[in-house]
Amino acid sequence: MTAPAATAPVSLDLEQVTAEERVRWAIETFGDGLVMTTSFGIQSAVMLHLVTRISPQIPVIFIDTGYLFPETYRFARELTARLRLNLKKFTPAMTAAEQEALYGKRWELGLDGIKRYNFTNKIEPMERAVRELGATAWLAGLRRTQASTRESLRVVQTQNKITKVHPIIDWDDRRVYSYLTEHKLPYHPLWEQGYVSVGDWHSTSKLLDGMSEEETRFGGLKRECGLHEPSGKTDFQI
């Protein structure tokens, strides 16, 4: 994800300010075109709380693949009620049962199968959400310490035709813990069972001895699900 030259000076300036100031800048800059996303993952309460304190009615996009852990659905309901989220849930155009009947378990079919699975279940629903909500900018809770694929991300970047803003990009795990503790916010319930990153149940594993965080997703074949990568035209089927 390479930002065009136009966003680079702005991103450099925003490196020097707080996460809250970055959120306020995004709100002032993009107005009603600003949305945020959540996966209701391990540390999702941080971004949800941080952003909605400043903009309570911001649309919160939740991509429900149909393959999430039961704990994730319960966690989503809890945080939605507690923080009074303006939640916008989007689902794949095909149900899980239909996909498996036609294509099998694509997450078991190597890297190409994973990419096709992610396109159907995550990328296409997100692109649809952006169109339907008229979004021009997207707040995302990515952090540089999460993976090698995120180490070089800027505060502000352009991904395809939408501007992405990463308010907590420079936060480490200690900072996240401090924020959660200060505001009495919960981690995802699977944190206590050894999960450090949570996606779909079939392609997420606990962090075991000798593993990196990146290896807990998609059997170590791929860290990103596609939502945070540039996507061009594909011949993938929905």
At residue 7, does pLDDT exceed 90? no
Residue 203 pLDDT greater than 80, yes or no: yes
Domain-embedded: residue 28: yes
Return contacts of 202-211, CB within 8 angstroms, 24+ apart.
Answer: 202/67, 202/105, 202/107, 203/107, 203/114, 204/69
Min mean pLDDT across 1-15, 66-80, 222-236 is at 222-236
Q: Does 178 map to a domain?
A: yes
- Is there a domain that residue 35 lies in? yes
Q: Which residues contact 64 (CB under 8 A, 6 or more apart)?
A: 89, 90, 91
Dist CA 121 CA 63 (whole Å): 8
Q: Residue 107 half-sphere exposure, CB side, CA atoms within 13 Å? A: 21
Q: How far is CA 1 from CA 153, 203, 231, in A?
A: 8, 24, 10
pLDDT score at 229: 55
| pLDDT on residue 210 | 80
Element (H, E) at 176: helix 173-182
Q: For the whole model, what pTM was predicted?
A: 0.86
| 118-142: average pLDDT | 95
Backbone angles phi, psi at 181, to 5 degrees: -65, -45
Higher pLDDT, 34 or 157: 34
In a domain, 11, yes or no: yes
**In-domain check, residue 143:** yes
- Domain annotation covers residue 153: yes
Angle formed by the axes of helices 173-182 and 44-54, nearest 10°: 60
Q: Mind listing the pLDDT tens digit for each residue in 165-175?
A: 999 999 999 99
| 127 CB-near residues (< 8 Å, 6+ apart) | none
- Into how many domains does the chain fold? 1
Burial of 168 (0-12, 13-18, 19+ CB in 10 A): buried
- Per-residue pLDDT band for 1 (boundaries 50, 70, 90) equals very low
Mean per-residue pLDDT over the chain, rounded: 87
pLDDT at 161 over 70: yes
Work out the percent of the chain whose per-residue pLDDT is above 90: 69
pLDDT exceeds 60 at position 143 = yes
Which CATH number do you get for residue 168?
3.40.50.620
What residue numbers bound the domain in which 83 lies? 5-96+121-200
CB atoms inside a 10 Å sphere around CB 202:
12
Tell me which of 225, 226, 227, 228 is the catalytic residue: 225
Q: Is 85 a catalytic residue?
A: no
Q: Is 42 part of a structural domain of the chain?
A: yes
pLDDT computed for residue 144 by the predictor: 86
Q: Is 234 a residue whose pLDDT tops 50?
A: no
> 155 and 166 in contact (C-beta within 8 Å)?
yes
DSSP state of 94: S
225 part of a folded domain:
no
List pLDDT tens digits, range 13-67: 898 899 999 999 999 999 999 999 999 999 999 999 999 999 999 999 999 999 9
- Beta partners for residue 163, in sequence order: 137, 158
